[in-house]
Amino acid sequence: MKQIKIFSPATVANVSCGFDCLGFAVNDLGDTMTFTKTEQKEITITKITGADLPYESNRNAAGAVAKAMLEKHPVDFGLDIEIHKGYTPGSGLGSSAASSAGAAFAVNELLGNPFSKLELTKFAMLGEEIACGSPIADNVAAAIYGGFILVQQYEPLHVIKIPVPDELMLVAIHPQVEVKTKDARDVLPTHIPLEDAVTQWANVGGLISGLYASDYQLIANSLKDIIVEPARKHLIPYFDEVKQTAIDSGALSAGISGSGPTIFALCKGQENAKKVYQHIDNMYQHTGINYTMVLSKINTQGVILLASN
């Protein structure tokens, strides 16, 4: 294999109650990347479209992941990398994670698959560190494994893939304002009252249980975040109004996607998702803020191979 083209999905991290430990992958949004073996033993980013990102491989999430993998598994070739960003960095939909996870998956294929999905997640976390300063696993694990994932433990890393109920759909709105992950982490409380912790971890348990049982009512009841959302929502214009519109339109619930500014809503069934999409769209048109929207199934495959030769 000399060349490989892959698709790496956008992801929603946290999923309300699961700060830094829950995430899921999105079907209809992501990065397309091409990796070509070269004789020169170097990693070169040859093309980036759709975003203004560093070409220097040490400063580029995909470049840094590829470099770390070739250091761990030395070979007699280098790589040219082309990145086509399918959506904007800084959206809260795991843009750097898509590139990092895509690089981990593609380099592994070109090496003959020496690494497990868990090892790929660890490599991809290096890309997250380069891009946003913290080696967070929730987005990259969701992109690599697909579906819902729980990062059950960071040291040592343990990722669990959670089933996706058939009718679950995503509606998301991305207001075009900038929220840097670092800034969104700086506003978080460093200590939380025990009773809030109890509420939050009970909701994580409820959400996982609801996903296993396809119990949409339990999912709706558990999609609550009383710790991170209250601290971050002021960074997102009209957050409360969007959330209320989603719930009034029949969504299971809504919350902040990752560190924002994207707001996600989970819905049962295509018909309800269309209604939620339409009502949020109608509401946000009057805000004067530019935005994009997505309606998608939950991606259950994670990064996929598009072509190879």
Catalytic residue numbers? 128, 181
Please report how close the Cβ of residue 182 comes to ligand HSE at its closest, in angstroms: 9
Please report how close the Cβ of residue 283 comes to ligand HSE at its closest, in angstroms: 25
CB-neighbour burial class of residue 82 (10 A; exposed 0-12, middle 13-18, buried 19+): middle
Please report how close the Cβ of residue 300 comes to ligand HSE at its closest, in angstroms: 21
For ligand HSE, the closer of residues 108 and 139 by Cβ is 139
In the complex, the residues that contact ligand HSE under the rule CB under 6 A are 13-14, 19-20, 136, 138-139, 181, 184-185, 258-259
C-alpha distances in angstroms, 132 versus 157, 182, 192? Answer: 19, 7, 24
- Three-class secondary structure of residue 78 per DSSP: strand
For ligand HSE, the closer of residues 225 and 283 by Cβ is 225
Contact 143, 102 (CB under 8 A): yes
Closest CA to 297 of 170, 157, 205: 170
Within 8 A by CB and 6+ apart from 190, the residues are: none
Contact 85, 54 (CB under 8 A): no
Strand partners, 5: 34, 307
Q: At what angle do helices 61-72 and 95-110 cross, to 10 degrees?
A: 30
Residue type, 187: V
Strand partners, 7: 32, 304
**Residue, CB closest to ligand HSE:** 258
For ligand HSE, the closer of residues 13 and 79 by Cβ is 13
> What is the C-alpha R_g of the chain?
19
Compute the CA torsion angle 122, 123, 126, 128 (nearest 10 deg).
-80
For ligand HSE, the closer of residues 187 and 306 by Cβ is 187
Alpha-carbon span 237 to 53, nearest angstrom? 26
Please report how close the Cβ of residue 107 comes to ligand HSE at its closest, in angstroms: 23
For ligand HSE, the closer of residues 232 and 279 by Cβ is 232
For ligand HSE, the closer of residues 17 and 242 by Cβ is 17
What is the widest separation between alpha-carbon atoms in the chain? Answer: 59
Residue type, 120: L
Please report how close the Cβ of residue 211 comes to ligand HSE at its closest, in angstroms: 18
Closest CA to 18 of 182, 276, 209, 288: 209
